[in-house]
Structures are given as structure tokens and as C-alpha cells.
């Protein structure tokens, strides 16, 4: 499996809700910020920890933790955070050869995401994209993708024109080599910004769609997941609609509609929940598991990642899945 996304190091700190209000942040959302604003927010943040993140990168790490062969495509700078990101994803068992920034891009550093975790365990994200946004079609390695059974891309990339072109190329290559195209809508506000194009992707390009409640409702501008489910059913081969503690709804093109319960977990930090759901689902599905089994593994992986700080698995996911059998 090949995952394409923003290569990001997360900078995580605990704050209260007043901190979000003071900086006009929308709880639970991701906003892109300029480096100057990132400096202001960071200066006011409590002591933090640095830990590798990035939505599709988290998914790749989760896939590898579940024993799947996974590769990641993204862009880091030749700096300290770039080395941290590269170390961590390689150490997680994911194949990643950094596409280093060149030329004018050199001034931008590796992407970082300032994540504020509030007492209710929700995370609010402020991303300074740096070189991650310079991902371009030339970074998409056709040779690598030709070995993939699934090519997974994150919607966040749609915010940058060159990265968008890179995803389109990845999707084209995937189609040509017979790989399934998987996609996450990433964020409700991201869907707002790109609704028409995302609708077009869902109808024409995506085989396996991942979205949470806010994202799928934003895509179809409806109020409930059930309404959205009626609208998305039939477009993608599979649509996984996640609803936090309410579990998830998995739709098949043949009209299948499965409810998967959430795995009970002590909620510490929701960062990475959707990413690990996708990892669990795709790692199982690509091995021939049915939708119910794939959804079960997805819920276990998501349950693990929300039980600690940081967006990548810390426990042995294979053992957790076996223990739950």
C-alpha cells in the first residue's frame, strides 16, 4: 500500500478551551497558518512534545504495525524536523525515501502542526505546511505505485495546487496499474473549500472513501450521516463513515450497509483516530477480509490511538487484534 500526504511533525500540548477562543480556533478543525502566526501561537503554547504525524503518514505507520507492506510519499526539508519525521516513519517499518526540497523551496522548513489537546481530549490543529505543500507530480514514483494494491491519498493535499496535481497523477497511475484508489476527506472545512472537486472525485475516481460525520455531511450539505449515506452509496465501491464513539457505517456498492461499533477506550487524545481507522480497514481489506472484519480491525486500531497522546500506534496492534478475536 502506498500513502500520499503531508509529511508533518506534530507539536502537541495540553490547553484549556480559553486558549482556543483567544486564538479564534475552531475546536476539532485543522487550519493552515503562515509561519509568522505559527511562531505567535507556539510562543504562547505550554511546554510541548514533538512527535511525528501527518494524516496519511499515520495511516501508513498503522498499516505497517498491522503487518502490511506500506510506503509513504511526502516532502520534508533537510532539517532537524525532517530527520525526525524520516527516522520515525522508517522505524515504524514504512518505506520512505524523502523527496527533499530543492531550489526556492529550501527556505521553507519541514511542516509542523501545532496541536492543542483540550481537557475533553479533542485536538485542534494549526498546520504550517512548509515544504510539504511543494509535493508535485514529479515526486510520484510510478515504479513504486505500480507495486501497490491500494493507493491512499489525503484530502488535505488539495489545498496546494502542486500537491493536488500530484494526487491526480497518483490516482491516474493507480487506475492504470489496477490499484484501488482510497481517499480521506480529511476535514470538514477542507471539504467546504473543495466541495465541487471532492464530489467529482467521489463520483469518478475514488474506490474506497473515508470520512467522518462532519466531512460527509459537509460534502453533501446535509444534516445527518444517514442522508449522506444515501447520497454516497453507489458512487464508491466502499465508503467508511466514522462517527467517533457511535462507531462507523460501512457502505458497499451492492447496497451493503454495516454498523460497526466503536471499541471502548480511555479517551486521551483523538489525534489520528480517523487515520488509524483507515489503516486498520485497508490492512485487513487488502488481505481479502470482508467489510465486517475490516471494520472490526479498523475500530481496534482507532481505539488504540485515542488512548494515548500522539497519532501513531504505541501498542502492538497485531496482538490487540488477536486478543479481541
The binding site for its own copies (CB under 8 A) comprises 13-14, 42-43, 45-52, 61, 79-81, 84, 87-89, 91-92, 109, 310, 312, 314
Q: Which is nearer to its own copies, 22 or 246 (CB)?
A: 22
Q: How far apart are CA 230 and CA 228, in angstroms?
A: 5
Cβ of residue 174: shortest distance to its own copies, in angstroms? 27
Cβ of residue 185: shortest distance to its own copies, in angstroms? 27
Cell 505507520 appears where? 61
Q: Which is nearer to its own copies, 46 or 138 (CB)?
A: 46
Q: What cell was used for 74?
A: 511526502
Q: Which is nearer to its own copies, 89 or 211 (CB)?
A: 89
Q: Which long-range contacts (CB under 8 A, 24 or more apart) does 313-320 make?
A: 313/61, 313/62, 313/65, 313/276, 316/65, 317/62, 317/65, 317/66, 317/280, 318/65, 318/66, 318/67
The string of DSSP letters for 210-261 reads EEEHHHHHHHHT-S-HHHHHHHHBTTBSEEEEE-GGG-EEEEETTS-EEEEP
Which residue from 234, 225, 241 is spatially nearest to 185, judged by alpha carbons? 241
Beta strand pairing call for 123-128 and 111-117: antiparallel
SS3 57: helix
Q: What are phi and psi of 208, to 5 degrees?
A: -130, 115
Q: Which is nearer to its own copies, 110 or 294 (CB)?
A: 110
294 exposed, middle or buried (CB, 10 Å; 0-12, 13-18, 19+)?
A: buried
Amino acid at each position: 500500500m502506498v500513502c500520499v500526504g503531508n509529511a508533518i511533525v506534530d507539536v502537541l500540548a495540553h490547553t484549556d478551551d480559553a486558549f482556543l477562543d483567544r486564538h479564534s480556533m475552531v475546536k476539532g478543525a485543522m487550519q493552515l497558518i503562515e509561519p509568522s502566526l505559527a511562531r505567535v501561537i507556539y510562543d504562547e503554547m505550554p511546554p510541548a512534545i514533538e512527535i511525528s504525524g501527518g494524516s496519511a503518514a499515520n495511516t501508513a505507520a498503522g498499516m505497517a504495525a498491522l503487518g502490511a507492506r506500506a510506503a509513504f510519499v511526502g516532502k520534508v526539508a533537510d532539517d532537524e524536523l525532517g530527520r525526525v519525521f524520516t527516522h520515525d516513519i522508517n522505524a515504524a517499518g514504512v518505506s520512505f525515501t524523502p523527496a527533499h526540497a530543492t531550489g526556492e523551496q529550501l527556505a521553507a522548513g519541514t511542516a509542523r502542526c501545532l496541536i492543542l489537546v483540550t481537557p475533553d481530549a479533542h485536538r485542534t490543529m494549526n498546520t504550517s505546511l512548509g515544504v510539504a505543500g511543494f509535493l508535485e507530480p514529479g515526486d510520484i514514483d510510478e515504479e513504486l505505485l505500480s507495486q501497490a494494491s491500494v493507493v491512499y491519498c489525503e484530502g488535505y493535499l488539495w489545498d496546494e495546487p502542486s500537491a493536488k496535481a500530484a494526487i491526480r497523477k497518483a490516482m491516474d497511475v493507480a487506475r492504470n496499474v489496477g490499484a484501488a484508489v482510497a481517499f480521506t476527506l480529511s476535514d470538514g472545512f477542507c471539504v467546504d473549500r473543495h466541495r465541487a472537486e471532492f464530489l467529482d472525485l467521489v463520483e469518478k475516481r475514488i474506490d474506497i472513501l473515508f470520512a467522518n460525520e462532519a466531512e460527509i455531511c459537509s460534502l453533501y450539505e446535509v444534516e445527518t450521516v444517514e442522508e449522506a449515506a444515501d447520497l454516497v452509496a453507489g458512487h464508491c465501491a466502499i465508503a467508511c463513515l466514522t462517527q467517533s464513539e457511535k462507531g462507523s457505517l460501512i457502505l458497499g456498492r451492492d447496497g451493503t450497509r454495516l454498523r460497526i461499533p466503536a471499541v471502548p477506550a480511555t479517551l486521551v487524545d483523538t489525534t489520528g483516530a480517523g487515520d488509524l481507522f483507515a489503516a486498520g480497514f485497508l490492512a485487513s481489506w487488502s488481505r481479502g477480509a470482508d467489510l465486517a472484519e475490516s471494520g472490526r480491525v479498523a475500530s481496534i486500531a482507532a481505539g488504540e490511538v485515542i488512548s494515548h497522546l500522539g497519532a501513531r500506534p504505541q501498542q502492538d496492534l497485531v496482538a490487540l487484534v488477536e486478543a479481541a478475536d
